[in-house]
Structure formats: C-alpha cells, structure tokens
A and B are shown apart, each in its own frame.
Chain A
Amino acid sequence: MAGPRRSPLTRAGRWVIVLGFAALLAFPFYWMGITAFKQTGDLYNVEHNPFIFNAAPTLVHLKLLFEETLFLRWFWNTTLAGAAVVAITLVLAVPAAWALARLTGRWGQQLGIGIFLTYLVPPTLLFIPMSRVVAELGLQDTLWAIIVTYPTFTVPFSIWLLMGFFKAIPRDLEDAALVDGLTRFGAFVKLVIPISVSGILTVVIFSFTLVTQEFVYALTFISSAEHQTVGVGVPIYLVRGDVYYWGSLMAACLITSLPIAVVYNLFLDRFIAGFTVGAVK
C-alpha cells in the first residue's frame, strides 16, 4: 500500500469514483451491445424501459449488417491497409530508431526528438495539400492513399518508442558481438532485433490500431464506399440520409471496437511510456 493510511471514508470515496467512472466511460459500449440485439419495435418505443429487453432479443440487425452492407468489405480493407502500413512502418522505423539510439550520439538524440515532434503535426493541418499529393500520385479513392500517408504519423512515434527500447539494451552485448566477428549491422540484425521482439510487437499493434482510428485522411482521400475503412465506412455510409439503422450501426461499432480495444489495452502501458519518456524517468 502506498501513501498514508486510508480512512474508511476515503476508501468508500475511492469506490464511488472508480465505479462511477467505469460506468460512465464504458456505458456507450454497453449501449451498443443492447441496441444491437433489440427488436426494432422495442427500440423505437419511447414508453419502453430502454435498459432491458422488453421483447425477445433478435439477430436481425446482425443479419442485415453482414448480408446487406459493405461492413465485411470495410473490415477487409482495414486489415489490408493495416498490414501494409505496419510493414512500411517497420521497414522505416526499426533501422532508424537503432541508428539514432546507438550510432549517432548526441545529435542522433536531438534528431530523434525532432522526429517525435513531427508526430504532433495533425492530419487536420495537412489533409488539403495532402489530397493534392495523393491525386498527383494517382492514388485517390484507393486504399493506397492511406497506405502511403499513414506512415507519416506511425513512423515518428514508432521511432521514438523503439529508441527507448534499443537504449535499454546493454551496449556490452553489441560490443561482444563485434568481438565475435559480426559487423555492426550484423549485430543489429542477428542480436538486437531478436531481443527487441516485444518492442517491435508494440509498434505493430500501435500502427495497426492507428489505421483503424484515423478518420480525417480516410474521409478525405477515399470517396467511394467500397474502398473505405471500417472507421469511416460505419459512421458515414451506414447512415442513409436521415435514416439510421441503429441496430446494425451499433452492432458494427461494437464488433469493430472490442477486439481492437482488447489488443490495444494489452500494450497501452508501453505507448504511455513512449509518450512520457523524458518527462518521467
């Protein structure tokens, strides 16, 4: 137990805060779940208690979602784009991070900070000129538009995250490999990369989830529904004019959010460590 001893009152206070926030923060996801399985008549009756099933649960919204919308297509697009962005990010960020952490001394550190700061440049500043760049490259309205542009924010953060990781590896290990006759680069490939698997995995998850999270670029660069990602396709194309198929819509939100949330949650501490390097030691 850290800190001063707690009185029963502060203990109770803690539970009120914890449970209150947990309920408030997780509520929309509960709401997606219950909406996804409610019969339409039950959903649209203001007299009904909305928290419970007043009529038997139904799978009709799920059926509609999978059979009559492009949901699966968006899911597939997101997976494809995610895999490609992850690949580009790894190829660019892993060697760069190691070089900046190990080979270039103090100015490598400074360049690393500079690269990290580019992570702060938001898509909302660049989407207009970027749309012209995407058009010049002939990529508008294709998945390639986001595959090419997303590494601009996955690479800077990944470099920063991996720099911390590589610095934690004892230098002696690498020096020993040099004595054993490996080249610097050989030591990096055969020694450093294998012991950094968990850091690299963090980058994989981070880059992949960012592809599912990003909204502005996908909305701007991709104009036809069938090329869209799930994060834009669901909120934009499952709404027809003023008609919201809330049951299917909420099912889509939940089915997409939960797996991503579970995986991301496992690696969150690392991302936070990446964010706060330099501020907390």
Chain B
Amino acid sequence: MAVTGAALERAAPRRRRRVSGATRLGVALFSPAVIYIAALLGLPLALAFLYSVGDVTVGSVGYGFVGLENFRSVLESPSFRRALANSFVFTIASQVVVIVCANALALALRDRFRGRGLVRFLVLLPWVAPISLGAIGWKWILDSIYSVVNWVLAQLHLVNLFDPPMWLGEPGLAMASVVAVHSWRMIPFSTVILLAGLTSIPKEIPEAAAVDGAGFWRTHFEITLPMMRPIINVAVLFGVVFTFTDMTVVYILTRGGPYDTTQVLPSLAFQTGVLGSDLAEGAAISMFLVPILVAVAALMLRVAHRAEVA
C-alpha cells in the first residue's frame, strides 16, 4: 500500500466508514448467489433428510414420519447390501488403478517432447468429452457379439470367437468392465492434477539428488513422491467423490445388472426412487452417500489448511 503514515492517520475515521460501506456492498453482491445455492441446494438437501425418514411416494400427498423405518428396510434388502459393497469395490478399485496410472502418465508427460500437445489432447479426451457418450462408445466396444476386444483376443488365440466372454453379461467381468471404463474416464483428470503438482516442484531438488548419485527410481520414491503428497491427496479426494457418487457409467453399461452385481448406491437410488416411485426409500439410499461426502469435505479442508500454514 503506497499510503504514507500521516495520510493514513488523517483518513482513518473516513476509512472505517468506507470499510463498512464496502462490506455492505459485498453482502449485497454475494447474497443472490448464496440465496440461490441455499434455496436450490439446501432445500432439496433438507427434503432428502425428510423423505428418508418419511413415507412419501410419487403419488402420495401427505407426509408421515416413520423414523428410521426406511433405513431399516433398505438395510435388510439384499440388493442394497450388494450395492453398498459394490460402491466400495467400484470406488477403491478404480481409484487404485487411476492413481497408479496417473502417476506414471504424469511423470512421462512432465518434460517437453515433440508432439506433447497432441498427446495431451488425446490423453485428455475421456475427461473432456461427455461421459455418457464415452460410455456408450465402450458399450459398443464390449458388445456381446461384435466386440472388438474379443476379436483381438481371438486373433491372439486367447478366446474362442464362438464362445466369447460376455464383458457386460457375466457378474465378475461386468464389474471389471465398469471399473475399467470409469478408470478410463478418471485417469486424465488425475494426471493433469498430478502434472500440476510435478511442475511445481523446484527443479534444483531432484537435480541435487542426481548430483549426490541418486538414480531415477530412488529420486522418484524418496524425493518426488513425498513432495507430491498433498497434490496426490487432492486428486484422490476428488476422485473418491466423483466415483462414489457417480452412476453414469454403471447406468449406461449395465443398468446395475446382471442381477444387481454392478449396482452401486446412486444407481439403486435412481431405480428405487425414480423408476420404482418409492421416493422415501430412494432418498434413504442416497443418504448413505453423505458420510463419505462429509469425510471428504473434512479431509479437503485439512489439506487446504495445512497448505496455508506451510
């Protein structure tokens, strides 16, 4: 601030009034956004809680409080328990795949090389194209009869083309396919976040390690990776939210089938609440997303806070 001490002193009383005027202007400017978000996010969120402890269906007019009845009933349902377990399998498996692949890819993309721009565009396609359309592309690639994957495997004599694996039709394979396609979608996003982290490491540090005789792997595991910890945390936290709460890939590829073996919480909530018209049970199922979201939000604040202190 280029204000001299004397000027500051003289301006002090006026300044205070101006600050409060500025604050009032501030409140006036951010209120519309806050009110909009509160109304259209807060209200449904409150309704979601109400529905989950009520007896509402699509046709019903009144509202009766039923306590934890919906939760008891969903917890007793085998489909729900299956979906809950699947959600964890889906999230953990795809996040492990994503973080390993994204680390390798970010490291490979760090230095400049010919064609880096084109490679970057190709690599990012799954993230920047609409996921529902990417998933329908995969549905064709994994088609039960005309699967190009099976054709290649048959050429390599790994599968029999007349009795091929049904990628989306057999329980284990269907889950693996859903995890693979979701990972395909998330790898680019994590890669770019990790790339941002990699480029923010001062060059002198790995160089000094090289001078001291550390090889590539040693430098990577003992210097680069520890320095990347906060950014890897950010990538994983976003990845967990985007995966645990997503139903697009599952819905398009398998609709939760065969026999609920790929059903996850969001897709089961959709099936129960929207297709099955049982709003209360659907809402109760969605409620199981909340603990994960709260945990991620809390961890996110800690990561942000620690970065601020450092």
Which A residues are closer than 8 A to B by beta carbons? 1-7, 10, 13-14, 17-18, 21-22, 24-29, 31-32, 35, 43-44, 46, 49-51, 91-93, 95-96, 98-100, 102-104, 108, 111, 113, 115, 117-118, 120-122, 124-133, 148-149, 151-152, 155-156, 159, 171-172, 175, 184-185, 209, 212-213, 215-216, 219-220, 230-232, 234-235, 244, 246, 249-250, 252-253, 256-258, 260-262, 264-265, 268-269, 272-273, 275-276, 278-281
- From 257 to 294 in chain B, residues with beta carbon under 8 angstroms from any chain A beta carbon are 265-266, 269-270, 273-274, 279, 282-283, 286-287, 289-290, 293
Asked if B173 CB lies within 8 Å of chain A CBs, one says no
Residues of A within 8 A of B143 (CB): 246
Q: Are A93 and B151 in contact (CB under 8 A)?
A: no
B contact face: mostly helix, strand, loop, or mixed: helix
Residues of B within 8 A of A234 (CB): 132-133, 136
Asked if B111 CB lies within 8 Å of chain A CBs, one says yes
- Cβ-neighbour of A220 out of B135, B136, B274 (below 8 A): B274
Residues of A within 8 A of B297 (CB): 117, 120
- CA distance in complex: A261, B125 (Å): 6
Residues of A within 8 A of B146 (CB): 43-44, 46, 50, 246
- CA distance in complex: A131, B274 (Å): 9
**B286: nearest residue on chain A (CB-CB)?**
A125
Asked if B6 CB lies within 8 Å of chain A CBs, one says no
Q: Are B210 and A279 in contact (CB under 8 A)?
A: no
Residues of A within 8 A of B40 (CB): 130, 133, 148-149, 151-152
Q: Tell me how far the C-beta of A165 lies from the nearest C-beta in chain B, rounded to whole angstroms.
A: 15
Q: Are B270 and A103 in contact (CB under 8 A)?
A: no
- Cβ-neighbour of A253 out of B113, B137, B279 (below 8 A): B137
Q: Are B110 and A276 in contact (CB under 8 A)?
A: no
Q: Are B279 and A132 in contact (CB under 8 A)?
A: yes
Q: Are A120 and B293 in contact (CB under 8 A)?
A: yes
Which B residues are closer than 8 A to A by beta carbons? 1-2, 21-23, 25-30, 32-34, 36-37, 40-41, 43-45, 47-48, 50-51, 101, 104-105, 107-111, 113, 119-126, 128-138, 140-141, 143, 145-146, 148, 151, 161, 184, 187-188, 192-193, 196-197, 199-200, 203, 206-207, 209-210, 214-216, 219, 230-231, 233-234, 238, 241, 245-248, 251-252, 265-266, 269-270, 273-274, 279, 282-283, 286-287, 289-290, 293, 296-297, 300-301, 303-304, 307-308
A contact face: mostly helix, strand, loop, or mixed: helix
Known A130-B40, A230-B130; further 9 A-B contacts with Cβ < 8 A: A4-B216, A25-B122, A28-B137, A121-B293, A126-B44, A128-B273, A172-B1, A246-B143, A257-B134
Residues of A within 8 A of B270 (CB): 124, 127, 216, 219-220
Residues of A within 8 A of B207 (CB): 3-4
**B288: nearest residue on chain A (CB-CB)?**
A125
Q: Tell me how far the C-beta of A7 lies from the nearest C-beta in chain B, rounded to whole angstroms.
A: 7
- CA distance in complex: A183, B280 (Å): 52
Residues of A within 8 A of B30 (CB): 95-96, 99-100, 104, 108, 111
Residues of B within 8 A of A262 (CB): 121
Contact A25/B279 with A2-B203, A231-B132 known, Cβ cut-off 8 Å: no
Q: Tell me how far the C-beta of B287 lies from the nearest C-beta in chain A, rounded to whole angstroms.
A: 8
Minimum-distance CB pairs A-B, first 6: A103-B26, A4-B210, A129-B47, A122-B245, A124-B266, A257-B129
Q: Are B29 and A279 in contact (CB under 8 A)?
A: no
Q: Are B136 and A124 in contact (CB under 8 A)?
A: no
